[in-house]
């Protein structure tokens, strides 16, 4: 009997630490049209490479995405929206107008608290794919997936699955 319980505990730990796969254990109630899956055990991210909070997207992918989340963290949604491509969408195809983006960001803030930290990981085989780890005031942590594209000298966010 003890071995069976130990085996169940080991299986639970493996599943609990499986990252941001589709089999996440905790799935909070999603905000309108965007879903969030919790990642248990993820440390609160520490922001890296703080860039200035200026509208646009000039510079590197990392600077653009960092500035985007700094604006969200500061609840400056108009500035954050300036980092989005004019035709930016959610991964399910919903167009992100200024009004829609602001409503979604405010809904997420109301549901889980404001952003308190974030960190990013660039996909080494495709740097246009960015994985964010985002921390909210109530201790909630999750991953967001962004796709960026270069427009002239600027980088813009083309799609995102959650704010």
C-beta of residue 114 within 8 angstroms of C-beta of residue 137: yes
Amino acid 116: pLDDT: 96
Mean pLDDT of 106-125: 93
Provide the token pair at 136.
């909210």
User: If pLDDT is split at 50, 70 and 90, which confidence band does 149 have?
Assistant: very high
Q: What is residue 146's three-state secondary structure?
A: strand
Q: pTM for this one?
A: 0.66
Mean pLDDT of 55-84: 89
**Calpha distance 160→37 (Å, rounded):** 14
Q: In the sheet that 141-151 helps form, which strands lie side by side, from edge to edge?
A: 84-90, 154-160, 141-151, 129-136, 115-122
pLDDT of 3: 54
**How confident is the model over 100-116, as a mean pLDDT?**
95
Confidence of residue 153 (pLDDT cuts 50, 70, 90): confident
pLDDT of residue 140: 92
Structure tokens at 63: 């600077």
Domains delineated in the chain: 37-160 (3.10.450.50)
Whole-number pLDDT of residue 50: 41
Q: What is the pLDDT of residue 85?
A: 95
């Amino acid at each position: 009997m003890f071995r069976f319980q130990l085996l169940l505990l080991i299986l639970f730990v493996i599943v609990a630490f499986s990252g941001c796969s589709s089999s996440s254990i905790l799935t909070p109630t999603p905000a309108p049209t965007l879903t969030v899956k919790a990642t248990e055990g993820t440390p609160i991210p520490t922001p890296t490479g703080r860039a200035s909070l200026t509208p646009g997207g000039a510079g590197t992918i990392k600077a653009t995405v960092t500035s985007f989340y700094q604006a969200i963290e500061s609840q400056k949604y108009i500035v954050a929206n300036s980092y989005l491509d004019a035709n930016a969408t959610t991964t399910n195809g919903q167009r992100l107008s200024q009004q829609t983006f602001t409503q979604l960001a405010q809904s997420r803030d109301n549901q889980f608290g404001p952003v308190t930290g974030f960190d990013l990981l660039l996909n080494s085989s495709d740097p246009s794919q960015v994985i964010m780890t985002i921390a909210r005031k109530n201790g909630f942590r999750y991953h967001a997936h962004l796709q960026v594209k270069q427009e002239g000298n600027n980088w813009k966010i083309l799609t995102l699955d959650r704010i």
